[in-house]
């Protein structure tokens, strides 16, 4: 599936990399997309509307009222018309305005009106890209369900070298093609998951030492929440058992069960497991918990403090032992050494259908990132390797994999 026949609004904002938008328009039109360009006022200082109008074969829009004709550029109609809104380049100013809902021009009004997927491709200097406000704005926009096309590493207009370069137009087209390809798979086969009961665990657990302190890990829950959102978008009934995290529920249809400790998470998953068609165990559950948590704060008296730990219940192994013939169980393994060997041991020992392997050796994978790089191994030891992608795209890959397995089962039964 390509972008052929798709209606795409390209938002171009004030960045030196706006010159790349000409090639992006050309590639999209060549691929068969219908492209409507909306430019901010500052973008027009870097590239002329005439250039983009010529390439898109449509007048470029920039204001609510066209100065030439006096006609109204209806932002609501534009938001409903589009199959995708792509903001490339997305400047730091634009990200800040969109993240806070500031609506003072045509592009921001279209963004707030859009019901289609929205893709942001940031472009700015390295220090601006890594500034805490920009990082927070990007996280906020992603939490709304928008898609981030990561800025690339390289030489910048300032002469500095680092992250901040606009993703190449070919990369942006590939992201859109992959997205619409997944969308087509959804309509042609992935709907086998519609109405299915999906149980997902996400986030860390916190094991109490005393009323003040606990043992935990660096999991943010982003991957599990992205998976929950991907299932919810295709009409599955999702129950999300979540450890402590600041993330909002990504879709209002998701039933979230908040837990804290490994035992809490075990009891919650047990309660919903029997009715689940698919179980995705993404949570980073503590392997050990304090054997005797204190009921009062432990005072700092001794130079050396010893803590007796006891094993927690292995949720994946327990559910794998209880799993019925129609149930599918996916586990995760974050490894630093002998990755494949350790993942295979978990796969078979816990009776999983898939193990999703993350390696901390891979840049951009693991805890705390907005991206992930996974290798999925099924129970027959067939391996599916995926490139570094946003966690939303990784979630879609996993949903596609599960849907294909269910589809194959239905074909065999038929």
Helix (H) or strand (E) holding 264: helix 262-273
| Alpha-carbon radius of gyration of the chain | 24
- Tell whether residue 273 is among the known ligand binding residues: no
147, 234, 300, 303 from 400: Cα distances, Å:
18, 11, 52, 53
Task: Tell me what percent of the chain is helix, strand and coil, each rounded to the nearest 5.
Answer: 40, 25, 40
- Tell whether residue 350 is among the known ligand binding residues: yes
Beta strands in 107-258 (DSSP E): 118-122, 147-148, 152-155, 161-165, 197-202, 207-208, 214-215, 237-242, 255-258
- Tell whether residue 391 is among the known ligand binding residues: no
C-alpha 188 chain-centroid distance: 23
Whether 229 sits among the annotated catalytic residues: the reply is no
Q: Using CB atoms within 10 A of its CB, is residue 208 exposed (0-12), middle (13-18) or buried (19+)?
A: middle
CA atoms within a 13 Å half-sphere pointing along the CA-CB vector of 342: 11
Token code pair at residue 370? 């907005």
Q: Which of 74, 178, 217, 404 is catalytic?
A: 217
Q: CA dihedral in degrees (321, 324, 330, 333; nearest 10)?
A: 10
187 CB-near residues (< 8 Å, 6+ apart): none
Indicate the angle between helix axes 92-100 and 132-143, nearest 10 degrees: 50
Cα separation, 263 vs 266, in Å, equals: 5
316 neighbors 282 (Cβ within 8 angstroms) = no
- Binding site for CTP, residues? 287, 297, 332, 346, 350
- Binding site, residues? 287, 297, 332, 346, 350
Q: Give the residue numbers marked as catalytic.
A: 217
């Amino acid at each position: 599936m390509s972008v052929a026949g798709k209606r795409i609004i390209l938002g171009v904002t004030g960045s030196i990399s706006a010159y790349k938008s000409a090639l992006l328009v050309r590639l999209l039109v060549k691929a068969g997309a219908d492209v409507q360009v909306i430019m901010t006022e500052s973008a027009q200082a870097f590239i002329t509307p005439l250039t983009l109008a010529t390439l898109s074969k449509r007048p470029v829009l920039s204001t609510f009222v066209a100065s030439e004709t006096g006609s109204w550029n209806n932002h609501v109609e534009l938001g409903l018309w589009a199959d995708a809104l792509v903001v490339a380049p997305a400047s730091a100013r634009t990200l800040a305005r969109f993240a806070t809902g500031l609506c003072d021009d045509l592009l921001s009004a279209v963004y707030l009106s859009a019901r289609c997927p929205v893709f942001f491709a940031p472009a700015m200097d390295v220090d601006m890209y890594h500034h805490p406000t920009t990082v927070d704005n990007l996280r906020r926009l992603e939490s709304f369900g928008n898609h981030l096309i990561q800025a690339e590493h390289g030489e910048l207009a300032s002469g500095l070298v680092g992250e901040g370069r606009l993703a190449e137009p070919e990369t942006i087209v590939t992201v859109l093609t992959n997205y619409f390809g997944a969308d087509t798979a959804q309509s042609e086969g992935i709907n086998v998951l519609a109405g299915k009961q999906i149980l997902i665990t996400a986030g860390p657990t916190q094991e109490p030492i005393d009323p003040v302190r606990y043992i935990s890990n660096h999991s943010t829950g982003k991957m599990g929440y992205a998976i929950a959102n991907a299932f919810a978008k295709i009409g599955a009934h999702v129950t999300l058992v979540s450890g402590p995290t600041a993330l909002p529920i990504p879709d209002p249809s998701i039933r979230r069960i908040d837990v804290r400790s490994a035992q809490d998470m075990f009891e919650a998953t047990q309660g919903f497991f029997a009715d689940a068609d698919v179980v995705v165990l993404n949570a980073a559950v503590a392997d050990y918990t304090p054997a005797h948590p204190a009921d009062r704060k432990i005072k700092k008296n001794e130079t050396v403090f010893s803590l007796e730990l006891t094993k927690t219940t292995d949720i994946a192994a327990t559910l794998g032992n209880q799993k019925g013939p129609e149930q599918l169980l996916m586990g995760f393994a974050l490894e630093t050494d002998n990755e494949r060997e350790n993942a295979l041991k978990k796969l078979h020992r816990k009776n999983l259908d898939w193990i999703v392997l993350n390696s901390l050796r891979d840049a951009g994978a693991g805890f705390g990132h907005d991206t992930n790089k996974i290798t999925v191994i099924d129970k027959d030891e067939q391996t599916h390797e995926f490139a570094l992608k946003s966690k939303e795209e990784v979630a879609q890959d996993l949903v596609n994999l599960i849907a294909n397995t269910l589809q194959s089962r239905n074909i065999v039964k038929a």
